[in-house]
């Protein structure tokens, strides 16, 4: 499974936001965009999705900007990725959806594979909190969120 730039850049932006807002001040989109070398307009789209998901809150005014809507320990990587990417299923399979509108789901052998992969992906991303990423960033990256693999 490959994540789109929405998921990759959005995750970086949320980590950056969390690190920058530890002083309890709102953080501007411009400052995140500059630190992450991202387009401000693209970042605004990502933050809109994160706001709709209840992960990010905005403050208007001269001292306005964005901050996390929850504590970093309450936000999982899965929450962030699903807010940006939608479901994380590896294939577009109706049998994996709650609606179960697949006409062959009772006899489909590959459904088992897709379910196992989907369960593994979701367990992995839901098992990592934003707080863990912040701690990891401080420990190994000196507070940096940029990745050479994404440049």
pLDDT at 148 over 50: no
pLDDT at 100 over 90: no
Strand, helix or coil for residue 129:
strand
SS3 content of the chain, % helix, strand, coil (to 5): 55, 5, 35
**Mean pLDDT calculated for residue range 112-139:** 91
Residue identified by tokens 């530890």 is: 22
The residues spanned by each domain of the chain are: 5-87+129-150
pLDDT at 56 over 90: yes
Would you identify the CATH topology of the domain 5-87+129-150? Arc Repressor Mutant, subunit A (1.10.10)
**Mean pLDDT calculated for residue range 67-74:** 94
Q: How many CA atoms lie within 13 A of 139 on its CB side?
A: 6
**Mean pLDDT calculated for residue range 61-84:** 93
pLDDT at 118 over 80: yes
Residue 33 banded pLDDT, cuts 50, 70, 90: very high
**67, β-bridge pairs:** 57
Give pLDDT, residue 5. Answer: 93
In sequence order, which ranges of 21-129 are alpha helices (DSSP H)? 29-36, 40-52, 77-85, 110-126
Residue 97 banded pLDDT, cuts 50, 70, 90: low
């Amino acid at each position: 499974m490959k994540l789109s730039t929405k998921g990759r850049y959005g995750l970086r932006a949320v980590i950056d936001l969390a690190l920058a807002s530890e002083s309890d001040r709102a953080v501007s989109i411009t400052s995140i965009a500059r630190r992450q070398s991202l387009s401000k307009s693209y970042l605004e789209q990502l933050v809109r999705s994160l706001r709709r998901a209840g992960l990010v809150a905005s403050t208007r005014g001269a001292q306005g900007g964005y901050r996390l809507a929850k504590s970093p320990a309450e936000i999982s990587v899965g929450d962030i990725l699903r807010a940006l990417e939608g479901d994380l299923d590896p294939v577009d399979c109706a049998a994996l959806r709650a609606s179960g509108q697949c006409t062959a789901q009772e006899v489909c052998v590959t459904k088992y594979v897709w379910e196992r992969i989907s369960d593994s992906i979701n367990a992995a991303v839901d098992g990592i909190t934003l707080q863990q990423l912040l701690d990891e960033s401080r420990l190994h990256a000196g507070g940096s969120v940029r990745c050479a693999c994404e440049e």
